[in-house]
Structure 1
Amino acid sequence: MTTTAPTTPIHTPATTSADRVLGIFALVFGIASIALGFQFVFAVAGLVLGILSLRREPTARGLAITGIITSGVTLAGSLIAAMVALAVFPFIALAALWS
């Protein structure tokens, strides 16, 4: 008679928040950049952290993508606002000189 050892199921470790730190920070910086009035520094930080999270933390993919999108929207808005300001400023300066 042969005896076999009972098999134990293989468990994968549960996903902890430590596995998603960069993704969470990317999302927080992306939201903060919009909430604080299109802050350029927070947007760049959120974009960098989101890209790093995509490469290093596969469990935080959704958080990273959301952080990248919110940071990208903020960067685009900031760049558009800067271009409009640079285009309008000379006309405001000329109008101030003529009055």
Structure 2
Amino acid sequence: MSYYQYPQNPYQRPPESAGLSTASLVLGILSLLGFSVIILVPLAGVITGHLAYRREPASRGLCLAGLITSWIGLALAILGYALAIWFFWAMSTGFGYGSYYDDVIFSLGFLH
């Protein structure tokens, strides 16, 4: 009979990587710093954040921070694109002065 004690768990699991969570946080911070003009940056942050939320349960806080910053960056990007489209539309119509509708009315002779 041997009195030598064997280790309880000879195999240890490798630590889980937090690569997707870190990528989501980095992309979220970049989208808040102004890279949301390229709409792919916050969109990639949202996608990697949701993937990390399911695959990496040990780093939920990191991927949650990445998700929040990416969603805010995506909202700012959509708002910025909407304002730019409105601005260029308003500039093309002259902010209501000399628009196409006014030109048609004056050319028909209704408001001379």
TM-score range, shorter chain: 0.7 to 0.9
**Hey, what does 1:94 align to over in structure 2?**
93
The answer to whether the Cα contact below 8 Å between 2:21 and 2:52 also exists between their aligned partners in 1 is yes
Partner SS for 2:18: helix
**Hey, what does 2:29 align to over in structure 1?**
31
Residue identity matched to 1:34: L
C-alpha separation between the residues in 2 aligned to 1:51 and 1:28? 14
Change (3 A) 1:36 1:83: closer
Identity across the alignment (%): 26
The aligned length equals 95
Structure with a larger share of its residues in helix: 1
Which 10-residue stretch deviates more, 82-91 or 21-30?
A: 82-91
Describe how 1:37-76 pairs up with structure 2 within 5 A. 37-38=35-36, 39-76=38-75
TM-score, normalization: structure 2? 0.68
Question: Where do 5+ consecutive residues of structure 1 fail to align?
Answer: none
C-alpha separation between the residues in 1 aligned to 2:65 and 2:12? 26
Which 10-residue stretch deviates more, 3-12 or 43-52?
A: 3-12
The answer to whether the Cα contact below 8 Å between 1:23 and 1:60 also exists between their aligned partners in 2 is yes
- List 4+ stretches of structure 1 deviating above 3 A: 2-16
1:87 deviates by 2.3
**CA-atom RMSD in angstroms:** 2.6
TM-score, normalization: structure 1? 0.75
